[in-house]
């Protein structure tokens, strides 16, 4: 498939449904907490809580179809209002999640506790960095074509322009962590991944990766 029609543009609210569908495809274990018909809507909840903590949101389109998105945060771009807005968004999404607004989940309080716990464990294990990747998904049908590499390079270039020196992310044992290592990231820490341990029904680790810019 040719990439001659590949374009990049800023994320808009109209992209939420397409991004939710890509995320449901990328994280099937997490999506399986709800019925198949509700999975894209369910993943939209996670996308929503990442919006206010991300300072650069970009999507990739191929032949007019959204095939990837990357949300990242650069400390130099972060506005003071961002953190209070993130807390309000988290609370609103959390309440809607508990009430079944994103799909009916068995034991929603337990699932929410594990999501929050995993995020705290990742934050505690992460060394200091001045930019990070919050969400990064490429359609399964379009992986291996260089789209992900281009998106990551575009974000890295922006971060360098903003004088960032270190890019961080966290991933897990079920994700394509080899992709990041191939692009020069180095694993610097592991941490117990409560959410994936629950989903996989066995002990799982999350990993922190860093890239020197």
Pick the CATH number of 6-212 from 3.40.190.10, 3.60.130.10, 3.30.2130.30, 3.40.630.30: 3.40.630.30
Q: How confident is the model at residue 116 (pLDDT cuts 50, 70, 90)?
A: confident
- Are the C-beta atoms of residues 68 and 137 closer than 8 Å to each other? yes
Q: Give the tens place of pLDDT for each residue, 73-83.
A: 999 998 877 77
Tell me which long-range contacts 23-32 makes (C-beta under 8 A, separation of at least 24).
23/47, 23/135, 23/137, 25/139, 25/140, 26/137, 26/138, 26/140, 29/174, 29/196, 29/199, 29/200, 30/195, 30/199, 32/199
- Are the C-beta atoms of residues 104 and 34 closer than 8 Å to each other? yes
Q: Which residue has the tokens 């990766």?
A: 209
Q: Give the tens place of pLDDT for each residue, 7-21.
A: 999 999 999 999 999
- H-helix or E-strand containing 87? helix 82-98
- Are the C-beta atoms of residues 115 and 194 closer than 8 Å to each other? no
Rounded CA-CA distance 195/108 in Å is 12
Angle between helices 39-50 and 16-26 (to 10 degrees): 110
**What are the boundaries of each domain within the chain?**
6-212
Q: Which residue has the tokens 């390079």?
A: 153
Q: Give the tens place of pLDDT for each residue, 35-48.
A: 999 999 999 999 99
Q: Does residue 155 sit in helix, strand or coil?
A: helix
């Amino acid at each position: 498939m040719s990439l001659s029609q590949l374009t990049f543009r800023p994320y808009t609210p109209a992209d939420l449904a397409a991004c939710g569908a890509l995320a449901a495809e990328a994280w099937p274990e997490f999506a399986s907490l709800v019925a198949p018909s509700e999975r894209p809507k369910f993943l939209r909840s996670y996308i929503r809580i990442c919006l206010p903590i991300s300072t650069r949101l970009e999507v990739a389109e191929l032949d007019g179809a959204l095939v990837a998105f990357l949300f990242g945060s650069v400390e130099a771009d972060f506005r003071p209002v961002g953190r209070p807005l993130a807390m309000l968004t988290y609370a609103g999404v959390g309440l809607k999640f508990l009430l079944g607004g994103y799909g009916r989940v068995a034991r929603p309080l337990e699932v929410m506790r594990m999501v929050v716990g995993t995020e705290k464990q990742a934050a505690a294990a992460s060394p200091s960095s001045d930019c990070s990747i919050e969400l990064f998904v490429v359609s399964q049908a379009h992986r291996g074509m260089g789209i992900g590499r281009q998106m990551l390079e575009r974000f890295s270039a922006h971060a360098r322009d903003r004088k960032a020196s270190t890019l961080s992310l966290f991933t897990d044992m079920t994700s394509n962590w080899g992709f990041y290592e191939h692009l020069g990231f180095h694993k610097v820490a592991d941490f117990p991944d409560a959410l994936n341990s629950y989903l996989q029904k066995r002990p799982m680790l999350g990993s922190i990766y860093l890239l020197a810019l």
